[in-house]
Structure 1
Amino acid sequence: MSIIVITGTNTDIGKTVVTAALAALARAKGRRVVVLKPAQTGVGPDEDGDAQTAARLAGDGLGDEVGVVELARFPEPLAPATAAHRAGMAPVTPQDVADAARKLATEYDLVLIEGAGGLLVRLDGNGGTLADAARLLGAPVLVVAAPALGTLNCVQLTGEALRARGLETLGVVIGCWPDAPGLAERCNVGELAEMAGAPLLGAVPEGSGALDPALFRARAGQWLAPELGGEWDATAFESRVVAPAAPSVG
């Protein structure tokens, strides 16, 4: 794969950290990697956006860096189409994303496209979405999900939306696995793959984005499955964390 689209079932569930882990593992294998952020919202002109954060975690700071491309930056923390409209700026279209990704794929071995929020968040006033960009590219989509109560519905809806558009769901990754998971988190793990219609390919510990980059890179392989370049094992993870069924009554 030379292009992977990373989407979430919602916002603030770990897409950037998962993107960084993917980039770190690819760089460790000698691949040239770039993170493409179609539309960054809610960040000032001199602040790091999601792509910069992913690159900082994945690069070594000594010249072995991950590329960063941001097509647009809008000041308010809103959906890209709304943020662009309110700022009086031109929105990013799915065709813009596809054109940029194709160009980057001629310069890099791996292009990671990190979306904003969920799969069908609007990029422009015509209803264009990240799903449309993935369709134009024929690129697989990796879904990042939360493990908490309510996630199964979101994961199933995202999986169904991808299949309805003829898009490949590469898999689902838990973007923020808690240190002390509750009953809902432990029960949900066993159902995420079924809801997504695709394999469970990783679980990134909550707070991993705050790690020192060197430690982040050293641990990234423990969080993602071999299909994504790591050594994480779904069967072992589920056997360790999935809650057993409650005893029958009567």
Structure 2
Amino acid sequence: MSVIVVSGTGTEIGKTVVTSAVAAAAVAAGLSVAVLKPAQTGVGPDEPGDAAEAVRLAGPAVTARELARYPEPLAPDTAARRSGLATPAPSRIAEAAAELAGSHELVLVEGAGGLLVRFDEEGHTLADVARLLEAPVLVVAPAGLGTLNSTALTAEALTARGLHGLGVVVGSWPDSPDLASRCNLADLPKVSGLPLLGAVPQGSGTLAPASFRAAAPGWLAPDLYGTWSAESFLAAWPA
């Protein structure tokens, strides 16, 4: 498994922090890691993007690569159209990921928003990239009310396209989870058919990088190079 595509069920749910955590856990396990951001939106020319954030949190050993950048915080195809800039074709994204995989043991391809967010006017999405790469898709989901529906829809979209869902990671687990969040821990695998592979604590992205790297393996299951146990986590947060 040299390439993992990371997608969210929506925006602002902790996808970049989860990507950074997987990168940190993999580095701690002795792997060489690269993070590829095909389309970065909502940042200026000199501002750090999501790939740079992964390096900041996971460490300088991580290679960061970004293919396209658009200033407005919109879907990539809309942001590209409004800015007059070109969009990266799925074949170009897959080519970049394959190139990185030639020199790294793990490549994390972080999408923009959800699985079916459009990358270009032809309607290509992150799902097309995963298909070209034949790569598993890690789904990042929020903890609270509404996540069961959005995660189930994402899982159905993966199945319909013949893609492999690796599992679900809760992108921002609250310090004091409400009843819905606690119930969702057990229900997410049921509605999606995907295993629960981790829960990243809320606010983890604000930790000092050294603290983030030390803690990251404890947030993720062994499939993601960590030590986290879904069974133990559910027992700690009963519904």
**Could you state the TM-score of these two structures normalised by the residue count of structure 1?**
0.94
State the AA in 2 paired with 1:200.
L
Q: Which stretches in structure 1 are left out of the alignment for 5+ residues?
A: 244-250
Distance between the aligned counterparts of 2:146 and 2:29, measured in 1? 36
Q: After TM superposition, which residue ranges in structure 1, 4 or more long, deviate above 4 angstroms?
A: none
Deviation at 1:167, TM superposition (A): 0.5
Residue 46 of structure 1 aligns to a residue whose secondary structure is coil
Q: Which stretches in structure 2 are left out of the alignment for 5+ residues?
A: none
State the AA in 1 paired with 2:174.
P
Alpha-carbon contact 1:190-1:242 (below 8 Å) kept:
no
The answer for the alignment partner of 1:47 in structure 2 is: 47
The answer for the alignment partner of 1:23 in structure 2 is: 23
Structural mapping, 1:58-73, within 5 Å: 58-59=58-59, 64-73=60-69
Q: RMSD value over aligned CA atoms? A: 0.8
Alpha-carbon contact 1:35-1:54 (below 8 Å) kept:
yes
State the AA in 1 paired with 2:128.
D
The one of 151, 154, 157 equivalent to 2:150 is: 154
Distance between the aligned counterparts of 2:4 and 2:105, measured in 1? 11
The one of 84, 87, 91 equivalent to 1:88 is: 84
The answer for the alignment partner of 1:174 in structure 2 is: 170
Distance between the aligned counterparts of 1:195 and 1:134, measured in 2? 22
**Cα displacement string for residues 156-195 of structure 1 (whole angstroms, at most 9, x for unaligned residues):** 0000000111111000000000001011111111111122
Distance between the aligned counterparts of 2:22 and 2:211, measured in 1? 15
Distance between the aligned counterparts of 1:92 and 1:195, measured in 2? 33
The one of 193, 206, 213 equivalent to 2:209 is: 213
Deviation at 1:196, TM superposition (A): 1.9
Deviation at 1:95, TM superposition (A): 1.2
Q: Give the greater-gyration-radius structure (CA).
A: 1
Structural mapping, 1:122-141, within 5 Å: 122-141=118-137
Residue 89 of structure 1 aligns to a residue whose secondary structure is coil
State the AA in 1 paired with 2:122.
N
Distance between the aligned counterparts of 1:4 and 1:13, measured in 2? 18
**Could you state the TM-score of these two structures normalised by the residue count of structure 2?**
0.98
The answer for the alignment partner of 2:112 in structure 1 is: 116
